[in-house]
C-alpha cells in the first residue's frame, strides 16, 4: 500500500507529464479510434506499437480463450488509463472492469465518458482491489505492471481475483534479460525527467521494468507458469539491440506479452 502523500505527489507529477506529452483530447472520436489511430498526431509511434500488441493479444491469447469458454469473459483491466482496452474488450461482448488510481478526464478513468456505458470503472490500487475473490477469467496489466513496488504482492492480489484456470496477461511493460540493464534504464529515465520536468518521477518507488531472473523467481515462488508471445514490431525495432551493441549502449527493452497461469494445488 502506498501512503497518501506519496500517492498524491505521484498523481500530480503523472498528470503534469501526460499533459506535456499531449495525451488525451476533448473529442470522443480520439478515444474511439484507439489504439489503431492517434487522431491527435502527438503520440503516433507509441499507438502504432500498442495497436500491434493488441492485435497479437487478440489473435494469440484472447480468441483461444473465447473459443474454449464459449461465453463472455469477466476481465479486469488493471492500470486501464483512458480505458481504451476496456472499450475494445466490451465490443467483443466481454464484461470488463477498468481499474486505475488516475481518474483524470483526459487520460484516466474519467475518459470512460467518451465510450458510453459499455464497462465499469473502479478507482483503486491494483495491490488492494475492492473486488470479490475468484470472480474473473482474466486479469490484464495494460502497460502498468511495472508500476508495482512488489511484484509478488501485486500478482498475489491478481490470483485472489482469478477463477481457477484464469490467466494473468502483461502487455507493454519493458523487459530486460538482465536486471542490471533495467536498473540502468531507471537511472536514465529519472535523470531525463529531472532535466525536462524538474522532478525525478519517483514519488512511488515503482520497479519500472521486468527482467528474466525476476520472472523465474516469481514462477518458483508463486507456482506460476509463464507463456511468452513476441509481437512483431518491424525490422527496425527488432534490430535495436544490434545497434545498441555497436554503439556500446545499454541493451534496449523488449516488449513481450506474458501470460501467467497459476498451478492448481
User: What was the pLDDT predicted at 215?
Assistant: 98
Helices and strands counted in the chain (H then E): 10, 9
Contacts 24+ apart (CB under 8 A), 95-99: 95/119, 96/120, 97/121, 97/122, 97/131, 98/122, 99/123, 99/124, 99/126, 99/129
- Cα separation, 255 vs 87, in Å, equals 22
**Could you tell me which of 213, 210, 221 has the C-alpha nearest to residue 156?**
221
* pLDDT top residue among 118 and 74: 74
User: What was the pLDDT predicted at 171?
Assistant: 98
Residue 1 has pLDDT above 60, yes or no: no
Residue 89 has pLDDT above 90, yes or no: yes
Q: Where are the beta strands (DSSP E) in the chain?
A: 74-78, 95-100, 120-123, 136-142, 162-171, 175-176, 210-211, 224-229, 257-262
- Mean of pLDDT over the chain: 96
Residue 197 has pLDDT above 90, yes or no: yes
What's the pTM value of the predicted model, to 2 decimals? 0.96
Residue-range domains of the chain with CATH: 4-262 (3.40.50.150)
Strand arrangement, sheet containing 136-142: 120-123, 95-100, 74-78, 136-142, 162-171, 257-262, 224-229
Segment 131-144 shows an average pLDDT of 97
Q: What is the pLDDT of residues 237-249, one digit of tens each?
A: 999 999 999 999 9
Q: What is the pLDDT of residues 29-75, one digit of tens each?
A: 999 999 999 999 999 999 999 999 999 999 999 999 999 999 999 99
User: What was the pLDDT predicted at 117?
Assistant: 84
Segment 178-197 shows an average pLDDT of 96
Percent of the chain with pLDDT over 90: 96
Residue 114 has pLDDT above 60, yes or no: yes
Segment 107-122 shows an average pLDDT of 96
What is the pLDDT confidence band of residue 265, given thresholds at 50, 70 and 90? low
Provide the CA 188 distance to its chain's centre, in angstroms. Answer: 21
User: What was the pLDDT predicted at 129?
Assistant: 97
Q: What is the pLDDT of residues 212-232, one digit of tens each?
A: 999 999 999 999 999 999 999
Residue 207 has pLDDT above 80, yes or no: yes
Amino acid at each position: 500500500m502506498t501512503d497518501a502523500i506519496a500517492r498524491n505527489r505521484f498523481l500530480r507529477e503523472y498528470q503534469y507529464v501526460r499533459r506535456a506529452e499531449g495525451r488525451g483530447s476533448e473529442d470522443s472520436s480520439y478515444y474511439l479510434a484507439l489504439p489503431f489511430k492517434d487522431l491527435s498526431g502527438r503520440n503516433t509511434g507509441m499507438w502504432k506499437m500498442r495497436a500491434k500488441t493488441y492485435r497479437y493479444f487478440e489473435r494469440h491469447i484472447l480468441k483461444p480463450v473465447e473459443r474454449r469458454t464459449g461465453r463472455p469473459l469477466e476481465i479486469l483491466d488493471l492500470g486501464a488509463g483512458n480505458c481504451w482496452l476496456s472499450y475494445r474488450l466490451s465490443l467483443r461482448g466481454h464484461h470488463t472492469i477498468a481499474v486505475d488510481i488516475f481518474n483524470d478526464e483526459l487520460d484516466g478513468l474519467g475518459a470512460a465518458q467518451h465510450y458510453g456505458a459499455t464497462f465499469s470503472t473502479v478507482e483503486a490500487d491494483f495491490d488492494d482491489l475492492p473486488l470479490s475473490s475468484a470472480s474473473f477469467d482474466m486479469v490484464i496489466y495494460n502497460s502498468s505492471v511495472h508500476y508495482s513496488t512488489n511484484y509478488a504482492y501485486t500478482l498475489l492480489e491478481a490470483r485472489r481475483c482469478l477463477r481457477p484456470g484464469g490467466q494473468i496477461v502483461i502487455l507493454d511493460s519493458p523487459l530486460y534479460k538482465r536486471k542490471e540493464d533495467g536498473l540502468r534504464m531507471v537511472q536514465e529515465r529519472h535523470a531525463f525527467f529531472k532535466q525536462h520536468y524538474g522532478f525525478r518521477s519517483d514519488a512511488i518507488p515503482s520497479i519500472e521494468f521486468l527482467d528474466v531472473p525476476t520472472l523465474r523467481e516469481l514462477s518458483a515462488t508463486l507456482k506460476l507458469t509463464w507463456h511468452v508471445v513476441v509481437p512483431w514490431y518491424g525490422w527496425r525495432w527488432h534490430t535495436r539491440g544490434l545497434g545498441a551493441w555497436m554503439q556500446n549502449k545499454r541493451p534496449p527493452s523488449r516488449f513481450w506479452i506474458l501470460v501467467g497461469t497459476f498451478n492448481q494445488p
